[in-house]
Amino acid sequence: MQHAPFVAWLMQTGGVAHTSDARRAGYGTREIADAVLRGHALRIRRSWIAVRGADAATLTAVDVGGRLTCVSALAPLGMWVPPAAAADGRVHVSVAPNASRFAQAGLRAHWGAGPAPVAPRAVREHPLNVLAHVSECLELVDALAVWESAVNKGIVAPAVLRRVKWRSVRGRQLAEATSVLSDSGLETHACHALRALGLAVRQQVWIAGQPVDLLVGERLVVQLDGGHHLEKKQRRRDITHDSRLRLMGYTVFRFDYHQVLFDWAHVESVITTAVAQGLHA
């Protein structure tokens, strides 16, 4: 059973390792070969070894000379995985820009490097690089939800996200949006932006039995939908409350968090136009 210590070491490394790392850990060619011969390990490419039953997606990444990243790296890191992205089934792999081409059937290749350096033989990307690839791969709403989950799970702090030198506009947008949601919340962010225009804005004013998010002047209600508003029961309550407000003579506008964080120009235009029409008085 001379292979047993080697297999235990291999499992501790995450199930996949380069043979040179195994030799540095004190395991010789004979021990590695014995583990393979007995079916406890298998070879991937020429110099990689994996424990039997290792994560299939990681093996796929190693097999093409890349690292697991983006959607495929979320669950191992404890981040939220968007259902549509999970259902896609492709393995997301980061590869060096100068890497040789390979068959990409069943793969989603990410050729760009992330902001964080990674060890040459790492099999999974750094969490910050995973977030960078997510920012470029998913719709903004799903990407923001993933970034929020990284903060909520304690994987990365909002202050860290703000200081990272993101290489894309989307990365910078998501870092700012995640910080807003973590630090002050969607409602406070919108309130500050509207007050900066000189508007009289109050938060959480009770009207028709429920609080409204923002009341501009006396008659203009602005409701802001976060993720929980996507639930059917909550959505029905929102529609019922909006109907009551309109019957009481209020003008009601409802915006989702994608609009507030990524399309503020539209939100501002709607509200300022309503004020110009006197709908707030």
Position 248 in a domain: yes
Q: What is the pLDDT of residues 165-203, one digit of tens each?
A: 999 999 999 999 888 877 667 888 899 899 999 999 999
Q: What is the pLDDT of residues 18-33, one digit of tens each?
A: 999 999 999 988 889 8
Given 27, 54, 81, which residue is the final one in a domain? 54
Query: In Å, what is the CA distance from 157 to each residue of 5, 73, 104, 169, 172?
Result: 38, 19, 34, 20, 15
Position 268 in a domain: yes
Same domain membership, residue 68 and residue 147:
yes
Residues paired with 256 in a beta bridge: 225
Same domain membership, residue 138 and residue 225:
no
Q: Which domain holds residue 28?
A: 4-54
Minimal CA–CA distance to 275: which of 189, 187, 199? 199
Minimal CA–CA distance to 240: which of 254, 226, 256, 259? 254
Q: What is the pLDDT of residues 266-277, one digit of tens each?
A: 999 999 999 999
pLDDT band at 145 (very low <50, low <70, confident <90, very high): confident
Contact 64, 107 (CB under 8 A): yes
Position 281 in a domain: no
CATH classification of the domain holding 257: 3.40.960.10
Tell me which of 251 and 182 has the higher pLDDT: 251
Same domain membership, residue 269 and residue 175:
no
| pLDDT of 261 above 90 | no
Given 168, 183, 198, which residue is the final one in a domain? 183
Which pLDDT value is given to residue 226? 72
Q: What is the pLDDT of residues 40-91, one digit of tens each?
A: 999 998 899 999 989 999 999 999 889 999 999 999 999 989 888 888 989 9
Q: What is the pLDDT of residues 186-245, one digit of tens each?
A: 888 899 899 999 999 999 999 999 999 999 999 999 999 875 545 778 888 999 999 999
Same domain membership, residue 258 and residue 141:
no
Count up the domains in the chain and report the number.
Answer: 3
The reported pTM is: 0.76
Given 183, 199, 225, which residue is the final one in a domain? 183
Q: What is the pLDDT of residues 88-136, one digit of tens each?
A: 989 999 998 777 666 678 899 998 889 999 998 999 999 999 999 999 9
Same domain membership, residue 104 and residue 206:
no
